């Protein structure tokens, strides 16, 4: 029996360790000398932010599991939650050490251009006076020093907020601990008179800290921050029947997030053991949960630096500005609804602008033949044009239904605020299914013209968020297909009555439809043996049944190409099991976010785009949508997208059978993201242009793919 179990684990790896390997590749972007220096600093900040969220969510949930179900084992490795945590905490120090080396190198590079994080010891006389005055006038009045002792209980520490700590002696030589929170009202950095030179606010506080405790003597000082478990649970059975009570319950849960247990303590330097033990005691962490990180403990300020730099310097230190194109096969002067009625249309963010979809919604808000707008919302921009248009449509008398997912992690408060505003404008707002997050991206316009009902349906792989549409690669289908529109109408009806098992002609809807379709399509390729072909692009793959089915396809001789950005629990190249599976991961300027499923070769191939990753939560515990792409031109665009990413040799890595990644290298380096910025897939694709040419055979495109492109 143990041999069977071991065989089952031969071609899989732990999800958390796979994610940490992905985040290491994010950090490697900061080490890439082809990336502009300030962008490299941002990648260090992204790595740090990713790791923060990892501890808040993944480590936090593993502690919960270890407490509630200590014997529960991961089905990819057989490890319990505590065994996984030990592995995680063992891996982290090496990642921090790697980050410190890269951060130091990046800061040295930035210093050549005058951008410098100046230490307090390196200030000029004039700068020291300037910082001293800033401390006295701006910082000191808002500081609240605390001495922890019998009469001063341990303060509440907020997650990822910075604190200065001092190890103190009183006049009798008794040790005490002093704490000063860094007020969130203060800016994270103070810029010196010269452009680009700055001092971090916590460094100023650390320098002046000893003077804050009167007769006490400060023996040591450091800066620290804690990370709390943020994996709040939603126990729907406790919610009352009304939606207002659901909203109120969520608000309480968000407050609870600030009080969950601490999973990590970060220090900005090595300190003495007695000092360290005191901090461990008041934060209630074990020694293995303490990490020393000589990089800034909160690097979010990196995204603010560019605004303070003069134009020419900003241009040199950042990526060249890129603005999404207006697709060549769409007429700016013609109605979007009319154009979609003639042909299916697809947008490819961020290389295409989100403007055509915004224009479609604006038309719908005003057009007399549009009766209703129905949409699912998971994440919105803080100043969302989409939400504002929905409000205007409702005020114009349109029926507007918004299926709002309030449980989108870390966007709950933003979604709560928008749900109230949408309701006040006359939209009908509902909050999804009990027990199932609604992660689908679908918008349905219902029209009535000359006595006939029609539909315009938009289905995407990414959120209705104009900010992330400019940073994430996603796909957006807009179609007048009547069957898809009918399915979309049925989908919204089913959501309103909590029916997860609705019947659909073309759409595939999880938790029941998408996995079944994937099995059906993979089985069809298995039947073809060595003639079979599967190519799937997704953010992650963790679902055990899908992994086993892909292994079965590999054993049957099917060529399986996976383009997986992040977590990948299947290991390729295992003899006799996954030797026909090849896995590519791309980490570059834009976050790869689109989901595309391709089964088969040639004209008989089946294409789908979807909101669902191949993860247990997406396929079994969320409401997700996959839509087949039937239009031949759109299929060729998707084939071009996949082929281009498989050819990437600049930003792509191959997953090895060990679970490690090897950066792809080619003499003629090809950067698929830079290529997509330069080359539009919309040229020569509309039915209006005759003769009708198959996109993949266009000579100009093939030449473009062959030529290396690097930014």
Sign of the Cα torsion 357, 362, 364, 368 reads: negative
CA nearest neighbour of 365 among 396, 403, 339: 396
Catalytic-role residue among 90, 156, 270, 439:
439
H or E stretch covering 201 = helix 201-208
Residue whose structure tokens are 């966007």: 411
Q: How far apart are CA 467 and CA 187, in angstroms?
A: 23
Contact 562, 568 (CB under 8 A): yes
CA nearest neighbour of 356 among 608, 364, 422, 689: 364
Largest CA distance in the chain: 94
Contacts 24+ apart (CB under 8 A), 117-124: 117/189, 117/198, 117/199, 117/200, 117/296, 118/192, 118/197, 118/198, 118/199, 119/199, 119/203, 120/199, 120/203, 120/204, 120/206, 120/207, 123/192, 123/199
Q: How far apart are CA 40 and CA 110, in angstroms?
A: 10
Contact 262, 157 (CB under 8 A): yes
Contact 604, 60 (CB under 8 A): no
Residue whose structure tokens are 């006799």: 576
Reply yes or no on whether 67 is catalytic: no
Distances, alpha carbon 396 to alpha carbons 364, 366, 384, 568, 626, in Å:
10, 7, 19, 47, 32
On the CB side of 445, how many CA atoms lie within 13 Å of its CA?
29
Phi-psi region of 518 (alpha: psi -120 to 50; beta: other; left: phi over 0): alpha
Residues belonging to the chain: 711
- φ, ψ of residue 474 to 5 degrees: the values are -145, 165
Burial pattern 73-84, b for ≥16 Cβ within 10 A else e, equals ebbbbebbbebb
Over its C-alpha atoms, the chain yields an Rg (Å, rounded) of 27
Helix-helix angle 37-53:15-30, to 10 degrees: 160
Q: Which residues are catalytic?
A: 439
């Amino acid at each position: 029996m143990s041999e069977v179990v071991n065989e089952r684990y031969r071609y899989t790896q732990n999800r958390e360790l796979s994610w940490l390997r992905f985040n290491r590749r994010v950090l490697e972007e900061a080490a890439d000398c082809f990336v502009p220096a300030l962008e490299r600093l941002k990648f260090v900040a992204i790595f740090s932010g990713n790791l923060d969220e990892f501890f808040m969510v993944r480590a936090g949930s593993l502690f919960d599991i270890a407490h509630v179900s200590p014997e529960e084992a991961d089905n990819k490795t057989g490890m319990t939650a505590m065994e996984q945590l030990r592995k995680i905490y063992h891996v982290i120090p090496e990642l921090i050490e790697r980050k410190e080396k890269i951060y130091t190198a990046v800061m040295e590079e930035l210093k050549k251009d005058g951008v410098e994080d100046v230490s307090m010891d390196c200030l000029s006389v004039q700068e020291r006076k300037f910082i001293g005055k800033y401390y006295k006038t701006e910082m000191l009045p808002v500081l609240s020093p605390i001495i922890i002792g019998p009469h001063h209980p341990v303060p509440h520490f907020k997650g990822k907020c910075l604190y200065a700590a001092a190890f103190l002696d009183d006049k009798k030589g008794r040790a005490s601990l002093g704490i000063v929170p860094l007020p969130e009202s203060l800016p994270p950095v103070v810029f010196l008179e010269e452009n680009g030179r700055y001092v971090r606010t916590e460094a100023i506080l650390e320098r002046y800290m000893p003077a804050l405790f009167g007769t006490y003597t400060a023996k040591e000082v450091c800066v620290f921050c804690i990370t709390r478990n943020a994996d709040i649970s939603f126990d729907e059975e406790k919610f009352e029947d009304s939606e207002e009570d659901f909203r109120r319950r969520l608000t309480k849960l968000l407050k609870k997030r600030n009080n969950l247990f601490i999973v990590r303590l970060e220090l900005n330097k090595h300190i003495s053991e007695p000092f360290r033990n005191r901090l461990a005691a008041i934060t209630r962490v074990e020694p293995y949960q303490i990490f020393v990180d000589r990089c800034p403990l909160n690097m979010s300020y990196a995204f603010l630096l560019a605004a303070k730099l003069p134009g020419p310097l900003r241009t040199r230190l950042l990526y060249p500005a890129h603005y999404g194109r207006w697709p060549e096969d769409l007429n700016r002067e013609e109605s979007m609804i009319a154009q979609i009625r003639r042909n299916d249309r697809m947008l490819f963010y961020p290389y295409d602008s989100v403007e055509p979809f915004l224009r479609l919604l604006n038309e719908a808000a005003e057009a007399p033949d549009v009766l209703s707008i129905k949409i699912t919302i998971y994440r919105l921009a803080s100043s969302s044009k989409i939400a504002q248009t929905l409000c205007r449509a409702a005020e114009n008398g349109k029926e507007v239904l918004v299926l709002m997912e309030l449980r989108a992690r870390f966007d709950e408060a933003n979604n709560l605020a928008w749900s109230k505003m949408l309701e006040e404008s006359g939209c009908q707002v509902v909050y999804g299914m009990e027990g199932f997050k609604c992660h689908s991206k679908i918008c349905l316009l219902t029209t009535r013209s000359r006595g006939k009902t029609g539909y315009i349906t938009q289905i995407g792989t990414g959120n209705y968020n104009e900010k992330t549409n400019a940073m994430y690669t996603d796909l957006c289908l807009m179609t007048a297909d009547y069957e898809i529109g009918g399915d979309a109408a049925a989908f919204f009806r089913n959501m309103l009555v909590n029916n997860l098992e609705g019947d659909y002609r073309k759409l595939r809807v999880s938790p029941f439809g998408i996995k079944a379709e994937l099995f059906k399509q993979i089985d069809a390729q298995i039947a073809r043996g060595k003639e079979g072909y599967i190519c799937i692009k997704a953010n992650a793959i963790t679902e055990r049944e899908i992994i086993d089915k892909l292994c079965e396809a590999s054993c049957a001789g099917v060529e399986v190409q996976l383009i997986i950005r992040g977590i990948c629990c299947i290991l390729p190249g295992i003899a006799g099991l996954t030797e026909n599976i090849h896995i590519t991961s791309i980490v570059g300027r834009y976050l790869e976010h689109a989901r595309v499923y391709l089964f088969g070769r040639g004209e008989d191939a089946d294409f789908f785009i979807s909101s669902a990753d191949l993860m247990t939560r997406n396929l079994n515990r969320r409401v997700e949508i996959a839509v087949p792409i039937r239009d031949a031109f759109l299929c060729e665009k998707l084939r071009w997208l996949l082929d281009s990413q498989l050819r990437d040799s600049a930003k792509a890595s191959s997953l090895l059978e060990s679970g490690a990644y090897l950066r792809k290298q080619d003499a003629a380096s090809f950067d698929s993201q830079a290529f997509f910025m330069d080359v539009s897939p919309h040229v020569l694709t509309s039915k209006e242009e005759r003769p009708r040419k198959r996109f993949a055979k266009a000579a100009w495109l093939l030449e473009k793919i062959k030529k290396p492109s690097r930014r």
